[in-house]
Amino acid sequence: MSSLRGTSFTKGPCDGSIDPTKIVLSGDSSMQKQKKRAILCPNCNSLISKNESRCPYCGITRPGSWWKNNIWTRAFRGTDQLLKAIIYTNIGMYVLSLLLYPRGSSLSINPFTLLSPDSRSLLVLGAAGTYPIAHFGRWWTLVSANYLHGGVLHILFNMFALRYVGLLVIEEYGTYRMFIIYTLGGVFGFLVSYLFGVPLTIGASAAVCGLIGAVLYYGKSRGGAYGQIIFRQIGGWAIGIFIFGFVVPGIDNWGHGGGMLGGVILGFLLGYQERKKETLFHKLLGGVCVIVTVGVLLWAIVSGVYLRIVG
């Protein structure tokens, strides 16, 4: 037999009898209120009270404050969400580059040039290199070029590599640090390309090479059997990328090398999970990278469509 203690009743309208449709369980109401006051710590993801002045697990102060517990600091807890967002953005920019100047798109049977966007599309949407940067001062292309591709094989290869290496970086560095490395590694790769005189360059491979560099640093720094396996496996990828770049014309090896170097530096500066868990600083820096990326891509789309219409 269950107890009705803590249960309140509402009388019927006529005879003072109990109306069963209006029974309110105060215990359930109290539990609901407690659930509303419970949050996941934005730093360590432990379940705590929203009113805690300091997280009892990681020590972060005022974990329930809006600037520490918001959509961004709660975002991307699932590993697939961020990777899907990056992949879909790359695909969207690729489709737009085909549609912007459709008559200039290549329908060649050569797999390396199949469905290649018109060079005008790539230029107005934010291709990097000495031509757009030195001649037009378009420094923002160091970000946008990471989301443009020169053909269907180009984007398929890069998205496959991103999916594989990205999951590994998320596992060892965390979601927010992964996006920081992807963004800044790509920027560094295209900056090196610019400094070494590459006239026009695009592709997510510079950013992916940034992730590869971070994994190489992780494997070498961690050591042990697991670290050695990771280093050798991803090191084989790195060697293969450079061999492919020397064999196939038109590959930006400077961008690849710069991205890997940037990834190694970022891996060292940001640290990985076994040495340092992701902190609020990583989440805020990751948020800055998202804001900059979204702003640059929106500018690239709007300005590219405008130049297509007026030009």
| Inter-residue contact 193 to 254 (CB < 8 Å) | yes
Parallel/antiparallel/unpaired status of strands 7-8 and 47-49: unpaired
Sign of CA dihedral 14, 20, 22, 26: positive
Distances (CA, A) of 291 to 10, 55, 191: 53, 28, 20
Neighbours of 192 (CB within 10 A): 21
Distance CA 154, CA 157 (A): 6
Among all residues, which ones are annotated catalytic? 205, 256
Token pair recorded at residue 279 = 């902190």
* Token reading at 289: 């990278």
- Do the Cβ atoms of 81 and 92 come closer than 8 Å? no
